[in-house]
Amino acid sequence: MHPARSIVFFTTASGAGFGLLALLGLCAPLGFLPESGWFAFVALAAALALAVGGLGASVLHLGRPERAWWAFSQWRSSWLSREGVMSVLTFLPTAIFGIGWVFFGATRGFIGLCGFITAAFAAATVYCTGMIYASLKPIHQWHNKWVVPGYLALGLMSGLLVLDFLVRFWMRRATGLALITLAVIVIAWFIKERYWLFIDTTSAASTVASATALGSRGRVRMFEAPHTQENYLLKEMGYQIARKHSRRFRPLARISGFLFPALASLLATILGGAAGIVLTGLAMASAALGLLVERWLFFAEAKHTVTLYYGADAV
Amino acid sequence: MTSLPAPRPGQKKLGLVIDLDICVGCHACATACKEWNASGHMGPLPDFSPYGDEAWGVWFNRIHSFEEGEGEGARTIHFPKSCLHCEEPACVTVCPTGASYKRAEDGIVLVNESICIGCKLCSWACPYGAREFDADEGVMKKCTLCIDRIYNEHLSGEDRQPACVMVCPVGARHFGDLGDPESAISELVAERRGRDLMPELGYKPVNKYLPPRPGRMQRTQPAPPSTRQSAGHASATEASTGDKLLRWVDRLLSR
Amino acid sequence: MSSEHQGAFAPAKSPQERSFLERLRSYFSPHEVIDTSPKISDEVKYTTCYMCACRCGIKVHLKDGAIRYIEGNRDHPVNRGVICAKGASGIMQQHSPAKLTKPLKRVGERGSGEFREIEWDEAITTTVDWLSKIRATDPKKLAFFTGRDQSQALTGYWAAQFGTPNFAAHGGFCSVNMAAAGMYTLGGSFWEFGEPDWEYTRFFMMFGVAEDHDSNPIKIGLSGLRRRGAKFVSVNPVRTGYSAIADEWVGIRPGTDGLFVLALIHELLAADKIDLDYLASYTNAAWLVIQAPGSADDGLFARDENGDPMVLEASGSLASATAAGVTVRFVGDAVLPDGRRAVPVFQLVAERYLDSSFAPEAVAEACGVPASTIRRLAAEIAQVAFEDVIELPVAWTDWAGRRHETMRGRPVSVHAMRGISAHSNGFQTCRALHLLQILLGTIDVPGGWRYKSPHPKPAPPGPKPAGRPEQVVAGKPLPGIPLGYPMSPEDLIIDADGHPARIDKAFSWDAPIAAHGMMHMVIANAAKGDPYPIDTLFMYMANMAWNSAMNTAETIRMLTDKDAATGEYRIPRIIYTDAYYSETVAYADLVLPDTTYLERWDCISLLDRPIGGADGPADAIRQPVIVPDRDVRPFQDVLIELGARLGLPGFTTPEGEPRYPGGYPDYIVSHERRPGVGPLAGWRGLDGNHPGRGAPNPHQLQRYIANGCFWKYPLPADQLYFKHANRAYLETAVMMGLVDSAKPIVLQLYVEPLQRFRLAAQGHGSVVPPAEHRDRIATYFDPLPFWYMPFEEARIDREAFPFHAVTQRPMQMYHSWHSQNAWLRQILGYNRLFINRVTGHALGLEDEDWVWVVSHHGRIRVPTKLMDGVNRNTVWTWNAIGKRAGAWNLALDSPEFREGFLLNHLISELLPPDGDYQFPNADPITGQAAWYDLRVRIERVATGEADRTAPLFNVIGHPGSLARPPGILRYFAGLDRRGSSQ
Ligand SMILES: Nc1nc2c(c(=O)[nH]1)N[C@H]1C(S)=C(S)[C@@H](COP(=O)(O)OP(=O)(O)OC[C@H]3O[C@@H](n4cnc5c(=O)[nH]c(N)nc54)[C@H](O)[C@@H]3O)O[C@H]1N2
Ligand SMILES: Nc1nc2c(c(=O)[nH]1)N[C@H]1C(S)=C(S)[C@@H](COP(=O)(O)OP(=O)(O)OC[C@H]3O[C@@H](n4cnc5c(=O)[nH]c(N)nc54)[C@H](O)[C@@H]3O)O[C@H]1N2
Ligand code: SF4
Ligand code: SF4
Ligand code: SF4
Ligand code: SF4
Ligand code: SF4
Ligand SMILES: [Mo]
């Protein structure tokens, strides 16, 4: 699949944004966060900026952005519509929760409830995002059980990294948070590794033979493509990453997305203070890079069944 | 409507049947489709960089070709492909706007261009590559099964067929109601054991492909004895040509 | 009308009128209302397609003045409603930005593309000025050559009227081997002049056909065969297109079909599976051939005092072969009145092909076809021919007046084209195929191969070429058309010393039976002034500076070559007529821009290459369906005007006035070639009731238009077969002016005219070949078919050039025409060199590797693609996809320039020298260009070498007047839904 920059950015940013939002909605009412209006403001602003920025990028990616409102109509069947609906729905409790928290310092009662609802909705939004991909049968690398957990874990992980960073401006030590972050990084990493293992060791049931209903005489292979030049299908779905590139990028995603953030978080927890801020900042930045690479790979390594008609043996 | 219409009893399922046994890969159905639809219901079908490098455009029908097998009995197969108007098309259900829909009355899968937002998700959801993005208008387009021909009252009955079916010089394309087991097209599918593409994905394509018939390498066996005998005779006994001519000496025929 | 699928979005209600709930509901389940019955067109015009030479009938739907849609005409005899990929892309041809817009006069150097736009007046005056001087002094200094046109009846007539022998159309580089072999053997031929009996054939063999001129009829026919379960065998080194749907693919090694076919004949003779009855009745099998080595008539037919050939009667006495009811012998010595020996043709046939050198085992390796396959195919043929006999319950009467209660046929048929013809042994290979057909008795019988009207003609047909030196007189027309069928050396177009008298050397000792001329030699010969310099080269619809040139680079050089002494171009003047900015336009001094096929009248005439079929004569017209938006003129109009201005007798009245003031449509209707015979055969006579022959009918064109622009005369059932010997048919043909007499047409197993040339080579007769030609003529003019190794293969080091290299026509492209077509060029924007996978791997190659392809003559750098369905010794590519940068108004980074390539750069127009004389790379009998004799080797490119094709020629500039190509094309006929027009 073609890794369109807007989509890579969108899914990564909105994942982090909704992850952070969920964490804020959950942790603030539970009192795990600094009791500072400024913190509330900054954290919420960051979460919303990421979420809205991501959504904005995805709207701009549309062929007809001015009609985007139509996308809320088909929540009964479409995960994309559901994601749209959920993302917007999330902003309703968020608004109440945010106003209460930022301006009135309230995190309990109705405001707290709104916080929990925000958390639930944000998680649901990320779940919908994951399902958009996981529901696509033509793409084996997406249509599998590791995708939704991956989206959820990575959203949570990136939210935590941002949170851990922000929290440190107000709290010298947030050991609990840091340990959770560390744990989530490990879980997310594990899921991602299992995902990679899965896509490396399995391929779709569909083959060029099933795609063409041929094969009784032996191996089926493409002789000529319909057009000598690339068409939309190939530009969009025929993106092929050379094996050596995926071999090169995966370590980058591993190190930058998981290993370094984990180590940095650990160290930040040990050192605390300004060093902690710097280290978590670095962890966050590194994870951002790593997750962009991870997300780019998520597209680039995905093989669509349509390529079976254009020379692929299996997908 | 993004949710699929509930199939009715005796549901009409209009679609195409493509005979891989006789398709010669001439691309006539591809350009006829382009020609008809350029000014048709989904037209225009734009072409980008049409006179330069990387020319590409919106086509609803494309002809692939494959080789199958090696050595004797292997074949080259031309393989036209357009929308299969699936019964369970995820291209419809994934659509967030309702632009992509399946018609209840005949099962044709269409895009309502006026509300399509061009998110391209339906093209990801189609396993067969039957959706075509119009980057000029920013909307998705696709084979309409020539909906502006098949019911067109300005056309005579025999012309109310998709452009690609009308044009095919070898008659490798058939159009009809695959929901009606008695229809000529359904009988053809039954007789030739028409196949689904990627049945494992469960989209239940309406269009069917008729597999190539086995080549009749040997039309009849064994070969007539006379030929084999005398051929063997010729090389085995090395009879002189003069001797062989003798058998015609007494063959007299009137002019 | 909208469909029953009504919804809340019905435009009948404006959004304001709908309730909120309605709107809400429609938001969640939006319905589209579709106009399922839009109006298609304001007007439908019938005409004839010309996206290729197949001549299908089309209906052009026009809407708001634009072409909405082009579809096939269901009633048309050629295509019966279908069209092909090209035909359906006609809109884009009409909208090509490469269309020429105005007459051009060259101002820069040739090839620079620098032109001045001029008015038609100036263009015509200039031409008349140039040509009138030539005609007044030495008419042969005008060489008039036409390519893909379908007006050869007009252009040939014009050339003859002008008085130049230097006229030909494209047949010489195309398929004259097929035409000549067929015309001398059957009085009809493969190519577009015959067809298998699609309806009844049960075993069909196709040799070397990728697409052919009968594009749609072949497809329609093949599909019928497969449906009926008839067996279809494709003999072709490549398994694509038609071969892909064959029951059996015989991946033969190029150039060896003759051997393969003669081995089939060997098997059939050995098994006595031949139709002696047919041979006795319709062929020269029983005619006696004089056996007197050394004498001047050795190998000629023994003739009686009337000049009629003789046969050996059962009784042992001699009889005239023209008499009916004679019982003949096929084998046995006859003693002629002068005491010499003669034997029947059949005996020579049997003696030759029973020889073990034609046994399957003996040829298998050379052909790359296992002996068992050859043997099995022979057996299958024999079985179908002799056990599946078809008998139609139709009574008919033969030439001798004998009534036959049924029409019996052996349902084996053959079709062949350029895979056979484009070899230097193509004439004899095609003869071998005809021999096979005749021995089986399958010519014009049910289930066999059938003549397409206006054939059969006598074998060979009458007219001999005009243009011998004494016939070329200043200011005078030639006594006939420059092309024809020589019967003996006396008919050659040579001077007293035996040197060629035509610029292309057709009908010279180089190629005595060059029945279609040798267009591929014109530029080379003219540039060398060999056999003489010319003044003006006038070309029409032929891309001679590119894909129809052999040795392209040298051709381009020759077009610009100057005489060092005078500084003049060696070919002083070039006039060219094209409709588009092709590679050749840039080399013209004067460009006469033509219309497109949708903008002009044309005539697909029985005098030329008509649309007649096996079931009757037919012809057709084109009518203008849209008005040109540029300052262009139909070339035929221009030619007729030039004829009048030059005062050519055929184009002026005795008073010196233009004879056809109404231009081409006027000519089509009023011209008479012979009394009552004109360009169109339909609706002749003042009342329009005379098919074939009759006075000109001023309303003829209207009658054609009313009938969908074609005319067809369906033959009655008793005339549909055995046309060569069918009295009723022959009388119809005489009545229509298709043949001169109702005498039977005797199929020629043994072609006597060839022997006359051979005798000349042995020194007999008044016209004998010069020494350097003798061996060649003596060897190749064998009156019975034989096989020899193609010349290039025989001359080069076969180890050094181990592969055959051939091209194929892509079904969706016509020669160079369609790279300017926005739709078609997306399908095939570049080509690859296809190599057998096993061979490729042995060479260490994978897909998309770049290689050098090297011939004895040149080298090209190209990308590869491996495949399985190709003979292991053969590489191939699609023809004419590569283009020259700057041509066709394509952007300079177009794939046609960077990755597309021609094999033509590798093909020499001359054979590697053999002694002092360099023979053309052509068939020795017909001069047919031997495109597919090419042998090559494959070399990997050095690492880091450029991934562009080579050679790359410098970019040709183009006149500024061409349209600026759009960056996005949004074709929509009329107003689109957004209300904008395209
Ligand atoms: N390597 C290789 N070379 C080959 C062959 C091959 O098989 N292999 N095949 C050979 C054969 S058989 C042939 S016939 C030749 C064909 O070669 P050409 O006769 O050169 O044919 P085209 O490329 O069709 O070029 C004809 C010209 O006609 C112009 N044209 C198109 N429409 C019109 C019109 O309406 N009016 C006018 N005035 N001009 C028009 C086109 O722009 C083009 O410039 O190629 C030969 N060359
Ligand atoms: N679409 C389209 N149609 C065309 C044309 C076009 O350019 N495009 N051109 C028209 C013209 S001018 C012509 S002349 C005709 C030609 O029509 P075809 O005769 O179909 O011409 P080619 O494409 O040259 O095909 C020759 C075939 O012979 C095979 N071949 C090569 N060498 C040998 C051999 O030694 N033995 C055998 N058995 N096979 C061999 C090649 O693989 C190829 O399949 O087509 C006409 N029709
Ligand atoms: S072929 Fe693709 S576009 Fe057509 S209905 Fe099926 S899934 Fe949808
Ligand atoms: S591109 Fe259009 S039709 Fe396709 S899913 Fe998106 S909105 Fe629906
Ligand atoms: S049915 Fe119509 S739209 Fe669909 S492929 Fe055929 S011609 Fe094109
Ligand atoms: S028109 Fe017919 S033969 Fe040609 S590619 Fe299409 S299906 Fe095949
Ligand atoms: S075969 Fe030739 S004449 Fe017929 S439709 Fe195609 S391009 Fe036109
Ligand atoms: Mo040709």
Q: Are residues A190 and A247 both part of a single domain?
A: yes
The answer to whether residues C48 and C58 touch, using CB atoms and an 8 Å cutoff, is yes
Q: How far apart are the first and last CA of chain B?
A: 78
Beta bridge partners of C862: C851
- Ligand closest to A63 (CA) is 4
Report the distance separating Cα C222 and Cα C240, nearest Å: 14
Q: Are strands C248-250 and C231-235 parallel, antiparallel or unpaired?
A: parallel
Q: Do A81 and B2 touch (CB under 8 A)?
A: yes
Please name the residue of chain C whose CA is at the shortest distance from the CA of residue A221.
C867
DSSP letter at B131 equals E
User: Hey, is C62 helix, strand or coil?
Assistant: strand
User: B205: pLDDT confidence band, cut at 50, 70 and 90?
Assistant: very high
Token reading at C560: 């610009």
Average pLDDT over residues C789-799: 96
How far off is chain C from A237, nearest CA to CA, in Å? 19
Inside any domain, residue A204: yes
Task: DSSP for C113-136, please give it.
Answer: --EEE--HHHHHHHHHHHHHHHHH
User: B239: pLDDT confidence band, cut at 50, 70 and 90?
Assistant: low
Pocket lining: B58 vs ligand 5, CB cutoff 6 Å: no
Of C699, C654, C692, nearest to C673 by C-alpha is: C692
pLDDT in tens, C945-963: 888 999 999 999 988 889 9
Compute the mean pLDDT over every residue in chain A, rounded to the nearest whole number: 94
DSSP letter at B177 equals E
| b/e map C31-45, b = 16+ CB within 10 Å | bbbbbbbbebbeeeb
- 């929760």: which residue's tokens? A97
Q: CA B132: distance to chain centroid?
A: 18
CA dihedral B204, B208, B209, B213 (to 10 degrees): 120
Average pLDDT over residues C625-646: 97
Least confident range of A82-91, A193-202, C336-345, C954-963: C954-963
User: C939: pLDDT confidence band, cut at 50, 70 and 90?
Assistant: very high
Inside any domain, residue A167: no
The answer to whether residues B80 and B62 touch, using CB atoms and an 8 Å cutoff, is yes
pLDDT given at position C913: 83
pLDDT given at position B238: 54
Q: Do B62 and A222 touch (CB under 8 A)?
A: no
Task: Please check whether residue B32 touches A, CB under 8 A.
Answer: no
Whether the predicted pLDDT of A56 surpasses 70: yes
Whether the predicted pLDDT of C25 surpasses 90: no
pLDDT in tens, C204-249: 999 999 999 999 999 999 999 999 999 999 999 999 999 999 999 9
Q: Are residues A96 and A35 both part of a single domain?
A: yes
Q: Are strands C288-291 and B131-134 parallel, antiparallel or unpaired?
A: unpaired
pLDDT in tens, C371-403: 999 999 999 999 999 999 999 999 999 999 999
User: Hey, is C218 helix, strand or coil?
Assistant: helix
Q: CA C299: distance to chain centroid?
A: 32
- Ligand closest to C170 (CA) is 1
Report the distance separating Cα C547 and Cα C550, nearest Å: 8
Order of strands across the sheet that contains C115-117: C115-117, C104-106, C590-591, C573-577, C536-540, C142-146, C167-168
pLDDT given at position C14: 54
How far off is chain A from C196, nearest CA to CA, in Å? 30
Inside any domain, residue A151: no
How far off is chain C from A110, nearest CA to CA, in Å? 31
Q: Are strands C57-63 and C43-48 parallel, antiparallel or unpaired?
A: antiparallel
DSSP letter at C313 equals B
Helix A79-104 vs helix A5-30: angle between axes, to the nearest 10 degrees? 40
B184: which residues sit within 8 A by CB, 6+ positions away?
A: B174, B176
Beta bridge partners of B102: B109
Q: Are residues A43 and A109 both part of a single domain?
A: yes
Residues C234, C238, C242, C246: is their CA dihedral positive or negative?
Answer: positive
pLDDT given at position B218: 53
**Touching subunits for chain B (3+ Cβ pairs under 8 A):** A, C
Average pLDDT over residues C72-94: 97
More confident residue, C6 or C363: C363
C945: which residues sit within 8 A by CB, 6+ positions away?
A: C850, C861
CA dihedral A286, A292, A295, A301 (to 10 degrees): -100
Inside any domain, residue A148: no
Helix A5-30 vs helix A37-60: angle between axes, to the nearest 10 degrees? 150
pLDDT given at position C745: 97
Alpha helices per DSSP H over C238-319: 241-244, 257-270, 276-282
User: B2: pLDDT confidence band, cut at 50, 70 and 90?
Assistant: low
Q: Are residues A185 and A247 both part of a single domain?
A: yes
pLDDT in tens, C268-294: 999 999 999 999 999 999 999 999 999
User: C4: pLDDT confidence band, cut at 50, 70 and 90?
Assistant: very low
Atom of ligand 3 nearest to the CA of B85: 5
The answer to whether residues C247 and B216 touch, using CB atoms and an 8 Å cutoff, is yes
Residue B47's H or E segment, with its range, is strand B47-48
Which of residues A110, A135, A160 is at a domain's end?
A135
Task: Please check whether residue A228 touches C, CB under 8 A.
Answer: yes
Q: Are residues A99 and A44 both part of a single domain?
A: yes
Pocket lining: B99 vs ligand 5, CB cutoff 6 Å: no
**SS3 letters for A266-306?**
HHHHHHCHHHHHHHHHHHHHHHHHHHHHHHHHHHHCCCEHH
pLDDT in tens, C649-696: 999 999 999 999 999 999 999 999 999 999 999 999 999 999 999 999
pLDDT given at position A48: 96
Q: Do A217 and B137 touch (CB under 8 A)?
A: no
Please name the residue of chain A whose CA is at the shortest distance from the CA of residue C27.
A73
Compute the mean pLDDT over every residue in chain C, rounded to the nearest whole number: 94
Report the distance separating Cα C906 and Cα C858, nearest Å: 5
Average pLDDT over residues C560-565: 93
Burial of A312 from C-beta contacts in 10 A (0-12 / 13-18 / 19+): buried
Classify C132 in phi/psi space as left (phi over 0), alpha (psi -120 to 50) or beta. alpha
User: B224: pLDDT confidence band, cut at 50, 70 and 90?
Assistant: very low
CB interface of A with C, residues 65-124, below 8 Å: 70, 73-74, 76
Average pLDDT over residues A19-36: 93
Of B215, B214, B186, B200, nearest to B17 by C-alpha is: B186
Q: Are residues A20 and A84 both part of a single domain?
A: yes
Residue C555's H or E segment, with its range, is helix C552-560
Residue C420's H or E segment, with its range, is helix C418-421
Token reading at C67: 């072409």
Atom of ligand 1 nearest to the CA of C582: 44
Report the distance separating Cα C603 and Cα C673, nearest Å: 14
pLDDT given at position A174: 77
Report the distance separating Cα B96 and Cα A72, nearest Å: 7
How far off is chain C from A73, nearest CA to CA, in Å? 5
Average pLDDT over residues B36-64: 97
More confident residue, C944 or A194: A194
Beta bridge partners of C677: C674
The answer to whether residues B22 and B179 touch, using CB atoms and an 8 Å cutoff, is no
Report the distance separating Cα A152 and Cα C512, nearest Å: 84
Q: Are residues A101 and A206 both part of a single domain?
A: no
Q: Name the domain count of chain A.
A: 2
User: B190: pLDDT confidence band, cut at 50, 70 and 90?
Assistant: very high
Q: Tell me which of C548, C575, C881 to substitute to probe ligand 1's pocket, judged by most ligand atoms within 8 Å of the beta carbon.
A: C548
Q: Are residues A187 and A113 both part of a single domain?
A: no
Average pLDDT over residues B68-72: 87
Q: Are strands C859-867 and C833-836 parallel, antiparallel or unpaired?
A: parallel
pLDDT given at position C61: 97
User: Hey, is A35 helix, strand or coil?
Assistant: coil
Inside any domain, residue A123: yes
Q: Do B153 and C273 touch (CB under 8 A)?
A: no
Of C118, C141, C98, nearest to C589 by C-alpha is: C118
User: C714: pLDDT confidence band, cut at 50, 70 and 90?
Assistant: very high
Alpha helices per DSSP H over chain A: 5-30, 37-60, 79-104, 109-134, 147-167, 175-201, 208-212, 232-237, 243-252, 260-271, 273-300
A68: which residues sit within 8 A by CB, 6+ positions away?
A: A59, A62, A84, B117
Inside any domain, residue A147: no
Report the distance separating Cα A18 and Cα A14, nearest Å: 6
Report the distance separating Cα C917 and Cα C909, nearest Å: 14
Radius of gyration of chain C (CA): 29
Residue C644's H or E segment, with its range, is helix C635-645
Residue C591's H or E segment, with its range, is strand C590-591
Q: Are residues A310 and A183 both part of a single domain?
A: yes
Which of residues A87, A106, A135 is at a domain's end?
A135
Report ipTM (2 d.p.).
0.96
pLDDT given at position C978: 53
Chain C residues lying within 8 Å of A74, measured CB to CB: 28
Residue C617: asked if its preceding bond is cis (omega within 30°), the reply is: no
Chain A residues lying within 8 Å of B209, measured CB to CB: 212-213
Partner residue opposite A228 with nearest CB, options C240, C867, C895:
C895
Report the distance separating Cα C547 and Cα A225, nearest Å: 25
Q: Tell me which of C47, C48, C52 to substitute to probe ligand 7's pocket, judged by most ligand atoms within 8 Å of the beta carbon.
A: C52
Q: Are residues A179 and A310 both part of a single domain?
A: yes
Q: Are residues A9 and A105 both part of a single domain?
A: yes
Task: Give residue ranges with CB within 6 A of ligand 3.
Answer: B 83-86, 89, 91, 109, 126, 128, 130-131, 142, 203
**Domain span including residue A122:** 1-135
Report the distance separating Cα C268 and Cα C277, nearest Å: 15
Which of residues A88, A118, A135 is at a domain's end?
A135
Burial of C351 from C-beta contacts in 10 A (0-12 / 13-18 / 19+): middle
pLDDT in tens, A215-239: 999 999 999 999 999 999 999 999 8
Task: Please check whether residue A201 touches C, CB under 8 A.
Answer: no
Chain B residues lying within 8 Å of C249, measured CB to CB: 215
Inside any domain, residue A159: no
**Largest interatomic CA distance in chain C:** 114
Q: Are residues A117 and A183 both part of a single domain?
A: no
Inside any domain, residue A165: no
User: Hey, is C650 helix, strand or coil?
Assistant: helix
Task: DSSP for C495-548, please give it.
Answer: -TTS-B-STT-TTSTTSTT-TT--GGGHHHHHHHTSS---SEEEEES--TTTTT
Length of chain B: 255
